[in-house]
Structures are given as C-alpha cells and as structure tokens.
Structure 1
C-alpha cells in the first residue's frame, strides 16, 4: 500500500532499547519494507487468536522476534506498539485494550479490566460519596475515561484509591482524574482536552492531534533509531505532553510566562519553543536564549544541539556575560569594567572608603542593601524618583529627610567606584536598558528566558529592552517554588512586561521524579506562600508524577565517620547494581558540608568531581560533589543529601538574630526552596543523612 504511515508508541522504545543490536537493525529494515508493502508475505502481518483485541496484528522481524501493530479499518496508518521475543511480545499484547477515543482524539492503551483483576479498594464500603460522584458519566467520558473502566472509577472514595487504579487507566486519563480530585474544575479540564484536538473528520488528520502526539509520533527517517543504536534515547526530544505542545506552538499576542514545579518540563518546552521559532522565523531574525548561571547556559547549549536545528541565528548566553559584552560594545562601560558581585572584597573596600571619607551614621551593610535593593532594583536615577520609591520588604521605614541624606552618600559612592571602573550588575543592566530604549535599538527579534525565578527586575527590564514589543516577543519559564535568591520580581510594575490572563500558563506533569520524591519535595515548601512573579500566589497543588519509586530515607548518625562510611557503602552497592558514577550525586548545603565526604571517596578509590563555574573539576566521569546551589538545573538517578541536620538546614548566617522579621522570613523561605531544589533533582531515589538531630524541615 502506498503512503503507509507508522506512528511509534512512546513505550515502544522501552522494548526496542532492550533488543540485541542485530535485532534492532532488523527492526529498522522491517519498517522500510513495511512502508513499501505491508501485505508482503515476508512480513507475515496477521491477527493472533489469543489477543483480546482482534484488531491487533503481529509482524515478523525474524524467526524469533515479533512486532505488535494496530490499524483501523485497514487504513494506511499503523501504530507500532511493541517489539520483543515472540512469546514476550504476545504476552504483552494479549490482554491489552487498544482503541481510539473519539472524545480526546487519542489512541488509548490499557489492560482489559475484564481479564486483569482490578484492585479491591479498602474504603469501598465507607459511607461517603465517591470521589467523583458529583460529575456525570458524560463529563468523565469527555476527559477520555473509557466506558469499560467507569464502574471502577465510581468506586473510588479517596485519593489513595486513585493511586491504586493508575495502572488500569489510559495515559492521560489518570492525570485528568488526579487534577479533578485536586481542584474540581472539570470544565477547565474538558476545555484543555478540546484545545488538544484538531478540527477534522478524517481519522488520519485526527491522529495528528496534540492529544495523540503525546504518545504517538511518526518518524520519517532513521535518526531516532540511530540515536538508540549509538547508545541512548532522549524521548523529550520527540514526545511532548499536550500542555507542552500547545505552549510550544502557540501564537501568543505578546510575552508568555510559563510556570511549573520541578521536573515539569519547563526547560524542555523552552528548547522546543526555540526550535519552533527558528523554523518559523524570517531571514535575518536573531533569537536569544538566556538564563542566569554559566552552568545552566552550558546545559542549554548541549541540549539544544540534540534537537537538530540550525543555531546560526541563535545566541545562547548567560545574562551577565551578555549584558557586559553589549555594554562594552556600545561604549557604555570601559573595556576593563569590573563587576562588584564577583569581588566581595572590593565591594567592602569601596563602601568602607565612603564611610572613612564622610561622616555617615549608617553602616556599610545597610548602605549597600539600600543601594542595590531600592536604587538599582528600581532603576532610580534621581532624588525625586527615590523619594517616591516604595521600600517594600526593607524593614524600618525612613523619612524624606533621611532619603535626601542617603542620596548624597550614594552620589559620592558612585564617584568612588566609577574611578576604579567597578559596577554592580544591576547598574550595568539599567545603563544598557536605558540606552537601548533611548536609541530604540532592539538586538533580538525574540528572547527566551530559562530559570526565570533567578532573575531580578533589573535583568527583566533588560530582557524587555532587548526585544521589540510584539507577538511572541518573550517566552519565559520558571518555578516560583525554586526561588533561592532574594530577588524581587514583579512583571507589571518592576519590568513593564504584561503576562496576565492567557499569556500565563502552568505545567503540572512531573516527568523527572517519582511520585514519592515529588511528595517529599512539595512537603518542604507546602506551608510557604510564593509569589507568581506578578503579585498573585503560585499554586502548589495539582502536580502529578508519572511513575512510582522507592520512598526517600533520612538517617542520622552519631559521628561523621559513620555517615561517610554509610555513604561509601551505598555508592559501592549502586555501582555493583550497574549505576555509573555520573548518574549519582552528593550534595550539601555548603561546600564545607561535603569536604569530608570528598576525602572519604578519595580514600575509597572512588573517582569524583566538583562543579565550578559550570565546569567539572576533577574526574569528569566521577561522582559529582555539589552544593544545593550548584545542583540546580541538573538531574541524577540517585541523589545523596549529606550533612543535613538542625544546624545546616536551615542554614542561618552570622548575625541572623539581628535580621528584621521580614528578612528572617525571606531567608527561611529561600532555605526551604534550596532543599526543595536539591531533593527534586533526583529521578529514582533520594537518601538524606546527617549527624545529630534531624532537620525540622524534613519530615519522613
């Protein structure tokens, strides 16, 4: 048959990667032959009497291996579902229900509940209404719930029942029921399903719906198979959740803000959005992809190369390096300009010089904080504006007279630091933003921002100045719950970026971590209120992980040697189980916290490396040693949080007792976010250890 299309089930790759290399190559050859003539006698496409679904077909890879496919009405679309040894392939397929859902325009795969025993809910006799009792059968079906499973869903009384039914529900339906149990807005969920459909009657066109592309993609070349043959497959490059795909391809009327918890695929969505913009941009358009740290920038560079699109008109830059280079290019700062945040000793020296040369009743710490958090963060350039600027979160209020005196001091400080060519980063951003706006220079056509929560108003004002205001100008992703730096963001007032209404989206599916790890991470910050970057509270409920794993553990020891020996034993056990050292990570609140573990690894002959400025120092294939700050943006199969006790988590800096109540609250919020970040870097397991009393932040 001409025009045969093969759509690959995303779980097909689970079976394919486990095949011997020789058989994998035969699968590639099989598909080429199948596309040319699916009815060839050599392919042996045939129904199997033991399959409960009579439309499933088996096809011969060779004498021993079989592929499982499905088609509808002898059409030209075939779904390649599984490939395995003859008996194992049939065993996988025999009790499956595989059917097209007209309500969602997606193929659904699940175990036949008439054959596979369903769980017996312990709460089924409780005299309470079902968890979904208030919703009609019709509405639940519009979410994709198959008729055959509806009676079981009606028996669900509590969330735990829903967890038990997860394996018996089609992908996507479990998510929808989870969301429905969390916030009860069924109309919103139905609307999202409808947005993921296409307006077409033909089944071939409906197969291209976002809802179906979540699990089924057509590959017209062998690139993805070659990727597997060369040693791995990153499915994030190809398969996107409908929520992600809608965001990636959406035509936003202006700037877009995408939030989501750790592991929800924000960066993945941003990288695919970059590819989409590149492929749909006009000749000569330049696109900027920026983030906060050099380490994250290096990760973005490496990841985007795997998406196979031209980067000639794309600049992937750390925001600090970009700002300094542009400021020098436009002659706004001297070529030997130096950044004070990179030289704390110089900053202290300059403020002390101001105090020594003038009679000032304020300390250096207060002056620097007022200058950076009020003057620079709000881009205040004159006394008149300073007098009108709110000092929210700065503690004790100061009078107009005091502000006038402070302004004189700040003017003198500028003269002192300018003589030595020193600049604060925010000062650099403000100078560059003002220049670009005044000259109406827009270096880029589009800008994408990753790890948005790390940015300040000053950086966002620069981002706004780099691109002309127009449809699809800014695309910014971040997680307010990971806000580990004390930087205030307000899009509307602080950066003049409008992201209200449909310009703001929220991702909810956690792809990285197990449900058990996700629950622990959320428990760290569940009682803390986080701003959504625009004056509203960010939601924490409704996140769902798509797989389960082992429960995280927290063990304390009497001595440091006991903790180190325990960790060394666990690392050696994991190595014996087949883990590579680079799949593991050891992280602590401070660099000093993992120092003794570094010595322990050295004595045990286990290679290790440390992260500095985004680069690995030491054995690049060794186990990474990182602080909670350094591990941000990375992921590992297993993460060890070490040196975790009541003294280190939360970590209280010297002089904390003299902080204002607001400053204490802000610091403790950041400390919780740091632990949340560290825990959520793990994919399969988290093990926490320490010496002495446990941290009150972690309840396991």
Structure 2
C-alpha cells in the first residue's frame, strides 16, 4: 500500500484522461510495483526521488517517491502530455525550507517558461497554480477565467481596482516596519523577499506574491503587506518552531509535508473517494483539500463559549464552518451538531457541500438526533414547535400572551396593513407602515416578550430609529394588539413568532432540567438573523465548550436590522476573529465591490466597527466592464452581445454565467428580452441551478452562490438602490435601509469569480459613484 499526497494538481481537462488518472492512482495506492504502471526514475533528474508513471500512451504522471521504513508515499505533482511531463520531472525538486523545515516543491524558471509556452500562454503575473477556492460554490464550480469580449461600446473610465495600502511613497513592507531580516527569518526566499521589499503599492506587492513559487510564502507576504505583524504571521503559519530534523531525509520531508504552512499546498489522500473527488471536482477539490493555516486554526480550535468568525465575501467563512462540523463529528460520532443559516437556499447549499466534503458523514434527519443536522433556521423553529406537543400552549402564552397552538399557518401578507387600518388611524402618517410595525415587533416586542400594553409603555426601545412619546406608544400598541387578536382568530403565527415560541419552549424545558437538542451549533450568514432567532439558537445548545460558532459579515447584511449579540445572551467578545484573504474573486472584482461600500459605516454583531479596507484577493483578472446605455433596448442589445460572447467560450459552462438584477419583475423582463436576442438563459427562483443555460436571478437569491462571470443589469438610479422612503419612518431608518441596499450590490458583485460587468440605461446608480 502506498500513501498519496496531493499537491495543487496539474490535470488535463479531458474527461477520458481524468478517468484514466483515477484508475492509475487507485492502482498505485494499492501496489506501486504493478508493471502496467511503469513507475520509473528519470535519468539526470534534479531530484533523485522524482518518478513518472504511465497514465496512457500519451500522458505521464509526475510525482516524488518517499520512503519511511517499509512505508512508501507518493507526492503527486500532476498529469502531463508525455514530453511536458518529462521536462517537469527533470527539474522538479522536493526540498525542505532551510529555515523552518517546511516541505516545498521547486521548479526551475526554464521549465516553467516551457510549460507556459506549451500552453500557448503569455507569461502571467502569477507563476503558480490558482489558489484554492475558499467559498461554497453553490451553483457549480466555476470555469477557468478567459479573455473577455470587447464590449459593444467603449466602457466608462474604470475606478481604481484596489485601495492603496499607504499614501506614502515608501515601499509597502517598509511602511509597515518589515525588514529583509524579518522575511528571511520567516523562511521566505531571498530573491522573493528582495522583490517584495521593492514594491511601492498593493498592486506591485500582489504581483510579486502571486509569482511566489511556494504558496505559503506568497500568502505570508500578502498578510505582511496589510500590516499584520511579523510575529502574528509566524504564529498563523505555524512557524514558531522548525520541523524536527531527525531521521532520514525522506522522513524529514514527510514531517515537513504535515506542517500547517505546507498544508496550503499539500493534502493527504485518505481513500479512493478522496482521490476521485480531487481529480474530478476541479475547484471544489482545491477548496476541499487545501486550507490556509489561519482557516485551519478556526476549524481545529476549541472555545469555552460562543465564538465568532467575521470576514468579507469569499474569505472562507463557510468553508471553516463545514470543516469544523466535520471535525466535531469525527471527534465524537455521538455528538448532535446543528449547521444552520437564514434562508432555505443557503441551507440546501450547505447540506450539498457538507456531503461532498464528507460523503460518509452521518446526517441527522431530526433535531436532537446524533450526527449533523442541516436546516434553515425557520424550518428548524417550526420543527421544534411541532415537537413541543401540549407544551406549545404554555410557550405561546409566555411569548405572545395567547394560548395559540397552530404553528403551521402564516398570516396574510397584508395582515399588518389590516391591523393599521383597524386600529392605527390616529398615528402619524410616517408610522402607518407595515415595515415600521414588522421591525418594531421583531426588534422590541417579541424578544422582550411583551404581552400587554403596560409593558410596552415602559420598555426601552434600544436600537430603534424612530422615537415615540407615550401617546404614540399607546397607539402603536393598539395596532400590535389588533394584529395578535386577528392572528389568534385566524389561527396563524408568523415566522418571528414561531421562532420566539420555540425559544421559550426550549427555555422552559431547560428549567425542568431537560437537555438541549444539540451539543454544538454552527451558524452561517449570521448577520441576517433577528433577535427571536438568536434567542432560539441560544436555547438550542447549553452554554459550554464549543457551544456556538458564528460566521458573519455585516457588509453582507441584506435583511433585518442592526443588533448586538450580547443583548440576547450570546457573549462572543474576546472570542471573535477575522478572515481577510479573499479566495473567490479577483482583486479587480473585489476592489470594485469594496468601493461600493466606501463612505458607509458598518458594525459587527458585537457592536464594534467593521472595516473593509484590509480585505485583499490572491487572484488577478480583467477589470470590471461598465456598460452605459441610453435606453433599455440598447442595454439589452449590449448585454446580449456580451453574454453570447461569454457563452461561446468552450471553457465556460453556461450555468457558470449569471445575470443579477434587483427584483423578480426586472428578472423576468430581462430574461424575455435576452432570449429574444438569442441568449440561452433561464430564470432561477427557489429551485436548484441546472446545467445547460446561463441563469438570471435576483441579487437576494444570488446570496451564497458563485459564478465564473456575472453581469449586473439595470443598475440605474431609481432601481438600485430601491426607493426606501416609503418603508423608512425616520432618518436613521432610511440610512439603515440604504446601507442594506449598498450591501446588496456588494453581495451581487462578489458573486463573480473571474469576470464582472455592470450595465445600466439612463442615469447610473449613485452607488456607483
């Protein structure tokens, strides 16, 4: 038996070759002496450990053979056409970093130039493989980036793609107090260190880091370039102590492969299914196998209480959640683990990717079962209420002041309007809106469990933007009371009430010493949850080690109001960490999306300011296309030409191309107009994305997805941002509504992995300024 260690694997796209590669490595892992494999050394190779193997007559596998006693391991470099494979094998070297002992692959510049020439490529800024994806590709793994067709008209001048790190003319690293000795002390190559020290802005530093032969060294430079102290980089990459240098050279190399910094580039293949997924799955395989050392820390770390992980779009928060769920389940097969999020679509994506990550993982069908239960928070609340039995009446009495027991029926969408019409005639016009009452109910009445007028008259309304005097409070309560009376008469309960009743029921059970349903709760997209849902999450797991692990990014808050977790019994301060390295989008897409956020203030769930200038990408690509039109018809014509050009690229799967718009009405109109112009496109609502056609969806629906190429359409003033004056009752409410609109455009832009285009007719959105 041979152990296989996967690197960032060079693999032909041909499906037949992939199938043969799987068969080859399967046989290699079982018996490397099989004559049909033709495992052979290369005469005159730079590294005596290098071997080639025959995948078929035209393709060769290149790898390193390491021995430890009777055990044999193969470090897999890639599968190449015969002559190219020989060139790689002749000059590839597996060696230990002389400073820290981390195992690294080296290849001469001549061989790398030859490989680029064989691929008919111009020398790119990056000379290493594309970094592992660290996002959930809920649609499908994205295709390779390719050249973008010339837009129908000359695009408008492009905004700067990235924010400069320093206004000074000093070299970037020098401005952060980083010296050559610091870089060499980490184990960064001398030539790479010198090149990095000469860079004077972020673009130059990104180019140098992207060209690093060894992935961890490039990532370390990116950290240092954004002001991360040298010692923090040393800790995050596990470089505080060198790798044990005892034993044979092969044994030292094997130990170095297990180092946290090496695991950015190498992963141990544990079974045949691991191998098959790694070869077949493309980008997801990279995401599944290779974690940044910082991400690995948050997967493996234990916390004595709630912990929170923040980070911008594409920084890998969801990846950490999935790997952490897998790790907790592996450590205790009897553990009851919940993985949850706000919407059903996102929950479905989490379930799919968790099963792709670990097909043999025990999936719990019901709350409280052993294994990992994956569900949207509202579906979970409903299930808790249904299982409450007769206890639902007591919980409803505490939460709502009624003995309601039917949780299966929702009120009419106009229920608040009806209550306002019946009992709110004396209210000022700006308060007679369903949006005000929905927010007041969710943020004040339900979480504080107010069931009578007297309680509402004296309760603090923390965080609400609209001040109310005593008379207005009385009038507001009259409408709320009317809403509840109508719901009781009709036997309905809205989702906020369902969550609050579930939380109360579990709290009452806990008072009777009944165990909580889960041992660990992991929450994705936490910024969109409301107080009642947070109270439910707190009640679903008893306080203790690794009880709540929360992933959030308030730059992506597109639902709900601002809140602070500590107000609802969840104290994560001191156990909050941030991811800043974006793996999904190119630096051009990220830079454009970040500028949408400029000028606005954001706070995290601990109530602390949340900056976005520190986020950076490890990938580069074309600049964002800005397509201006005078009429809608002109915009459709330009969009159709652009999309048909994208779809004609044989390397682009149609379903990895997306058109995103603000509303369903616009989506349907755009699909019809583009279809008339020959674009193969379909609208997507709640269903799963299917292969074979480009997709059109709302910006809200796109949350949690990823596409190779994205076109944002109808980004004009009056459409994006949407008109918030009717739904906002105060200046603070309007400001927060506009903040959510800004976040929505940011979310939509960061769905693009490789290429982003933005179009509008008439006056472009003020958010683009």
Please give the TM-score of this superposition, normalised by the length of structure 2: 0.80
Q: CA deviation at 1:375?
A: 1.6
With 141-150 and 247-256 compared, the bigger mean Cα shift is at 141-150
Q: CA deviation at 1:207?
A: 2.5
1:141 aligns with 2:139: no
Partners of 2:628 and 2:499 in 1: how far apart?
45
1:273 aligns with 2:324: yes
Partners of 1:616 and 1:37 in 2: how far apart?
42
Question: 1:638 touches 1:682 (CA, 8 Å); kept in 2?
Answer: yes
1:641 aligns with 2:682: no
Q: Which residue of 1 aligns with 2:133?
A: none
Question: 1:213 touches 1:240 (CA, 8 Å); kept in 2?
Answer: yes
Q: Which residue of 1 aligns with 2:128?
A: none
Q: Which residue of 1 aligns with 2:265?
A: 215
With 173-182 and 128-137 compared, the bigger mean Cα shift is at 128-137
Aligned with 1:609: secondary structure? strand
Deviations 1:268-315 (A, max 9, x none): 2211212112222253x4222111111112212222221212214332
Q: Select the structure with the greater relative contact order (CA < 8 A; seq sep ≥ 6).
A: 2
Q: Which residue of 1 aligns with 2:487?
A: 417
Alignment of 1:424-463 (within 5 A): 424-440=494-510, 441=514, 442-463=516-537
Question: 1:258 touches 1:266 (CA, 8 Å); kept in 2?
Answer: yes
Deviations 1:348-401 (A, max 9, x none): 223323347xx6678532555433332224444566764564334433433456
1:496 aligns with 2:563: no
Aligned with 2:533: secondary structure? helix
Deviations 1:491-521 (A, max 9, x none): 112x2112122x2222222221111111111
Deviations 1:460-480 (A, max 9, x none): 110010111111111221211
1:60 aligns with 2:53: yes
Q: Are residues 620 and 541 of structure 1, via their aligned partners in 2, closer, same or farther at CA, if it must alter by over 3 Å?
A: same
Aligned with 1:132: secondary structure? helix
Q: Which residue of 1 aligns with 2:598?
A: 526
Alignment of 1:244-263 (within 5 A): 244-263=295-314
Question: 2:2 touches 2:28 (CA, 8 Å); kept in 1?
Answer: no
Q: Which residue of 2 aligns with 1:123?
A: none
Q: Are residues 190 and 353 of structure 1, via their aligned partners in 2, closer, same or farther at CA, if it must alter by over 3 Å?
A: same
Question: 1:105 touches 1:212 (CA, 8 Å); kept in 2?
Answer: no
Q: CA deviation at 1:222?
A: 2.3
Alignment of 1:187-586 (within 5 A): 187-194=231-238, 203=252, 204-227=254-277, 234-235=284-285, 236-283=287-334, 285-306=335-356, 307-308=358-359, 309-312=361-364, 313-330=371-388, 331=390, 332=392, 333-335=404-406, 337-340=408-411, 343-355=412-424, 363-365=431-433, 366-381=436-451, 386=456, 389-399=459-469, 403=473, 406-407=476-477, 410-440=480-510, 441=514, 442-493=516-567, 495-501=568-574, 503-578=575-650, 579-586=652-659
Question: 1:328 touches 1:334 (CA, 8 Å); kept in 2?
Answer: no
Alignment of 1:583-662 (within 5 A): 583-604=656-677, 606-612=679-685, 614-615=686-687, 621-655=692-726, 659-662=729-732
1:86 aligns with 2:138: no
Q: Are residues 601 and 80 of structure 1, via their aligned partners in 2, closer, same or farther at CA, if it must alter by over 3 Å?
A: same
Question: 2:582 touches 2:616 (CA, 8 Å); kept in 1?
Answer: yes
Partners of 1:190 and 1:389 in 2: how far apart?
50
Unmatched 5+ stretches in structure 2: 114-122, 126-166, 247-251, 365-370, 393-403
Q: CA deviation at 1:226?
A: 3.0
Q: Which residue of 2 aligns with 1:131?
A: 172
With 469-478 and 367-376 compared, the bigger mean Cα shift is at 367-376
What is the total number of aligned residue pairs between the two structures? 677
Partners of 1:191 and 1:620 in 2: how far apart?
43
With 230-239 and 677-686 compared, the bigger mean Cα shift is at 230-239
Q: CA deviation at 1:411?
A: 4.0
Q: Which residue of 2 aligns with 1:695?
A: 765
Question: 1:45 touches 1:60 (CA, 8 Å); kept in 2?
Answer: yes
Q: Which residue of 1 aligns with 2:143?
A: none
With 206-215 and 478-487 compared, the bigger mean Cα shift is at 206-215
Partners of 2:210 and 2:232 in 1: how far apart?
25
1:45 aligns with 2:40: yes
With 516-525 and 399-408 compared, the bigger mean Cα shift is at 399-408
Partners of 2:477 and 2:109 in 1: how far apart?
74
Partners of 1:105 and 1:532 in 2: how far apart?
39
Q: CA deviation at 1:17?
A: 3.9
Please give the TM-score of this superposition, normalised by the length of structure 1: 0.87
Partners of 1:411 and 1:447 in 2: how far apart?
34
Aligned with 1:697: secondary structure? helix
With 178-187 and 443-452 compared, the bigger mean Cα shift is at 178-187
1:69 aligns with 2:63: yes
Aligned with 1:561: secondary structure? helix
Deviations 1:577-626 (A, max 9, x none): 123321111111122223332112332454433333x2159x76432221
Q: Are residues 453 and 103 of structure 1, via their aligned partners in 2, closer, same or farther at CA, if it must alter by over 3 Å?
A: farther
Partners of 1:219 and 1:384 in 2: how far apart?
64
Q: Are residues 683 and 564 of structure 1, via their aligned partners in 2, closer, same or farther at CA, if it must alter by over 3 Å?
A: same
Q: Are residues 135 and 581 of structure 1, via their aligned partners in 2, closer, same or farther at CA, if it must alter by over 3 Å?
A: closer
Partners of 2:472 and 2:238 in 1: how far apart?
59
Q: CA deviation at 1:547?
A: 1.8
1:7 aligns with 2:5: yes
Q: CA deviation at 1:184?
A: 4.4
1:171 aligns with 2:215: yes
Q: Are residues 32 and 653 of structure 1, via their aligned partners in 2, closer, same or farther at CA, if it must alter by over 3 Å?
A: same
Partners of 1:350 and 1:23 in 2: how far apart?
63
Of 748, 756, 764, which aligns to 1:678? 748
What value does the CA root-mean-square deviation take over the aligned residues? 3.4
Question: 1:34 touches 1:43 (CA, 8 Å); kept in 2?
Answer: no
Partners of 1:590 and 1:178 in 2: how far apart?
38
Question: 2:657 touches 2:708 (CA, 8 Å); kept in 1?
Answer: yes
Aligned with 2:442: secondary structure? helix
Unmatched 5+ stretches in structure 1: 121-125
Partners of 2:124 and 2:303 in 1: how far apart?
44
Partners of 2:744 and 2:21 in 1: how far apart?
48
